[in-house]
Structure 1
Amino acid sequence: MSHYRYIAPELIKYTPRNDEIPADNAKVYAFDLDHTLIQPKTPKAIFSRGPDDWKFMEFREGEQSLKTLINICKYDSKAHIVIFTNQGGVITMPPTSKSCSTFTSKIGNIFKYISKQEDGYLLLSRLWLYSSTMKPAALFPKQKKQASKKSITKQSTLPFLKKPNESMKEIDSSHKSLEELFNSMRKPEVGMGEQFIKDLHKRNDTITKQNMNWVYYCGDAAGRSSDFSDADKMFAKNMGIDFKTPEEVFIS
């Protein structure tokens, strides 16, 4: 296995297993995953339907996006590739859930495919992946509609109704902070980016948020008329990274 895998309720991440120490002035090329690097094999599908339903995109006929990633690492010894992806259909509680198993199997298959390519090992040794996950409904049940003021007044006269105790308030507070954690990991919020910086810093403590050498962030959600959102563009803005569309990176 080329990577360490970490599965938390709010995040799945893969970090290179070789523990290579990044250069002090390491250059970081960041990408979205779906419809930027890969797409479903199933015609007209938006989301993959299984761990094998994917292929690297070709913005030029016969030239996979993978080739660009490998060439970046081949010709730039200080380059690191990081992927940030929102996976709104993946639940990691429990980690054995079908959606989590399908996603992690897909990532494993992608890494295996890369390993079989010429110079693919160069990419794998400097490839990081971070995926936000879906908030489990069991942890965040929908709140019931608040009773009308009139009904509350009537109910408050009943002697067996008690006010919420302090322990319930603590539970509510912990749920709120957990919800904030989930939200912070989802683009355009910067939680995944900040986690990557922390992980890079652990391997080279001279690398910090202030001196990170971002080259660009590339994603397809750019707020164009044909795009479903501007999450990638806004993520780059929030992180302070130059933004590029896939067409600018893989065709220009």
Structure 2
Amino acid sequence: MSCTLVSHSGARVPLENGRAVILGRSPDTGVTDKRCSRHQVKVVARYADQDVVVTQLGPNPSFLDGEKLGRSQSGKLTHGGTLFLVNQSHPFKLHYSPSSNGAAQKGRKATDKTKGGRNGKEAQSSPIPKRSLKDFFSTSPMKSSKRQRSPERGHPEVKRQRRDEEASGGRMKDEDEEEERMAEEKLKQLQELAEKSLTERSNSTRPSSSPSSGKECLKSSWQQIGSLMLYTPAGVRGSDKIAGFDIDGCIITTKSGKVFPTAPDDWKILYPEIQPRLASLLKRGYKVVFFTNQMGIARGKLKPEVFKSKVEDILAALQLPVQVFVSTSPGLYRKPVMGMWNHLCEKANDGVTVDKTQTFYVGDAAGRPENWAPGRKKKDFSCSDRLFALNIGLQFHTPEEYFWGWKSAPYSLPSFDPRKLDSTAGLSDPPSACLTSSRPEVIVAVGFPASGKSTFFQTHVIPKGYVYVNRDTLGSWQSCVSACERALKEGRSVVVDNTNPDPESRKRYVDVAKAAGVQCRCFHFSASLEQAKHNNRFREMVPSDSKHVKVNDMIFHSYKKHFVAPALPEGFSEILQIHFVPNFKDSQSETLFRQFSEG
């Protein structure tokens, strides 16, 4: 059997059984109308029911014959029906046609070949379509008047044929009722057989039940928790053993060979070993969970409903119940931070406590260098998957190590390790230096954004009566200079809390101090670029810390580009090195800070 959508212009879109296809404005459809999204609809053919399930994705509505579909709504299209891609334009008619016996035999042989794999193991196969009663009958075993259900049911010729049949003396009413009764009894028997067959097949991949397993999820569902999307399909059950996997580059790769997918359906399962390996984990009582970062959603480059559809299609290809966590923006849920893992353990594992000693995580962002293996020239784009496992305390594998048995590859971790930062270290160098003075003075800060300048001054200097000058609040360096001059005229000391990376930016305040006849000291904050970025990400994850604004990466790198180390000849009476020493308001904040936050 084949299934095709055909446009009035002659464009043909073949649909495989159970395989999702995204349609929209593209050369394949011949549609150039900009009201039609490139990802307008998702269509899935169901050969057993001889229909197509259409899910609306684009912002403008589609139509199934006369039925309007809104965003994220689904409907069914039967043989002969028409899909209007956008509004009531660009019609595509659905055609189902039977295959010849020879083609069917050939298809069966091809299917048989997929049942065996290397070493006799079961290889990955296409999704098994849901069976219906139509699989058991070529036509419905009802009476003839009910057998002719079709889109042309109300056609005048059909009505005329029925009238002629009745006029010529059709079968008696009691004969029809007896035939219906027998047919219904036969249908019931076949339905029981079909349900039994489906149950047995489902049990073959269902995880083994044990005292450490939770109840099985009966209905698939999506949840949205802040910037976290969570999909729990039917068949998932909690377990004390978790097998965690990244998705991109670990479970799937692009069909196009590009680094990034060119379309929502530009994907394929990465290795043939993946499906049987995951099925084996489920049989051994593991809960299989996918964790993925999808920043494209927060940036508006990827629609949530499109990615949800992609996730469902991946699981349909695997034919396995896998729970999926999707982080859509920076913050608590983005790997390598543990937010997704914590939500799994606390709220999405049926109350079953996870045993980390029996749990592991697999991902391709592992910090491997260039040429880490023969034929692998590119280095890993990050180390976020390895750090995710490290933050949690799990055993880690790359896809090649786990699915193919390769030896561990070399890797490197970030230069800044938040676990090693000493919260009891000294604040300044030299340690004996005074942080404030009893006489009026100007203190000029130098250091990366998020290097701890504001917190240090608010804690150790401002309480001593210093006037606080900051460009973020005053708006320009000219306003900062004017504020310094006013404070010194009043006989008060001043602290200038700006980044001041170069001699030019610092000279403005040195000159003001000279004009007022007071000393000018420099406080150089020693936090590195990596540490400052970590501090910035930590602030993002603590929304109650409202006095800090997120710093763009461009600002960090601009400071680094213009930085010139401060020196005494610039006019400073003293230069102190100020170290970042974290101070945590509670243990939860410290736990969060000690995690690697970027790979």
Shorter chain as denominator, the TM-score bin is 0.5 to 0.7
Higher RCO, 1 vs 2 (CA within 8 Å, ≥6 residues apart): 1
1:79-118 alpha-carbon deviations (Å, 9 max, x no partner): 110111111101399xxx9521221111121122223xxx
Q: Which amino acid aligns with 2:249?
A: H
Distance 1:232-1:19 versus aligned 2 partners, 3 A rule = closer
- Asked whether 1:246 is paired with 2:394, we answer no
Of 290, 295, 306, 1:102 maps to: 306
- Asked whether 1:39 is paired with 2:253, we answer yes
Structure 2 spans left out of the alignment, 5+ residues? 1-217, 370-378, 406-599
Distance 1:72-1:133 versus aligned 2 partners, 3 A rule = same
- Asked whether 1:231 is paired with 2:384, we answer yes
Q: Which amino acid aligns with 1:69?
A: L
Give the TM-score normalised by structure 2: 0.28
The answer to whether the 8 Å contact 1:28/1:213 transfers is no
Percent identity among equivalent residues? 32
Q: Which amino acid aligns with 2:242?
A: V
Match in the other structure for 2:360: 216
Distance 1:246-1:208 versus aligned 2 partners, 3 A rule = same
Structure 1 spans left out of the alignment, 5+ residues? 116-122, 135-181
1:161-182 alpha-carbon deviations (Å, 9 max, x no partner): xxxxxxxxxxxxxxxxxxxxx4
In the TM superposition, residue 7 of structure 1 has moved relative to its aligned partner by 2.6
Distance 1:223-1:13 versus aligned 2 partners, 3 A rule = same
- Asked whether 1:111 is paired with 2:315, we answer yes
Q: Which amino acid aligns with 1:27?
A: K
Distance in 2, Cα, partners of 1:212 & 1:227: 26
Distance in 1, Cα, partners of 2:345 & 2:402: 23
Q: Which amino acid aligns with 1:242?
A: Q
Distance in 2, Cα, partners of 1:92 & 1:214: 37
The answer to whether the 8 Å contact 1:9/1:91 transfers is no
1:40-97 alpha-carbon deviations (Å, 9 max, x no partner): 1112x12223221111102xxxx242221112223x0x2110111111101399xxx9
Match in the other structure for 1:120: none
Match in the other structure for 1:54: 267
Distance 1:104-1:200 versus aligned 2 partners, 3 A rule = closer
Match in the other structure for 1:169: none
The answer to whether the 8 Å contact 2:290/2:324 transfers is yes
Say how many residue pairs are matched: 179
Match in the other structure for 1:14: 231
Distance 1:42-1:195 versus aligned 2 partners, 3 A rule = same
The answer to whether the 8 Å contact 1:56/1:64 transfers is no
In the TM superposition, residue 133 of structure 1 has moved relative to its aligned partner by 0.4
Q: Which amino acid aligns with 2:250?
A: T
Match in the other structure for 1:159: none
In the TM superposition, residue 228 of structure 1 has moved relative to its aligned partner by 0.7
The answer to whether the 8 Å contact 1:11/1:130 transfers is yes
**Superposed counterparts of 1:59-78, under 5 Å:** 63-74=272-283, 76=284, 78=285
Match in the other structure for 2:296: 89
Q: Which amino acid aligns with 1:102?
A: V
Q: Which amino acid aligns with 2:231?
A: Y
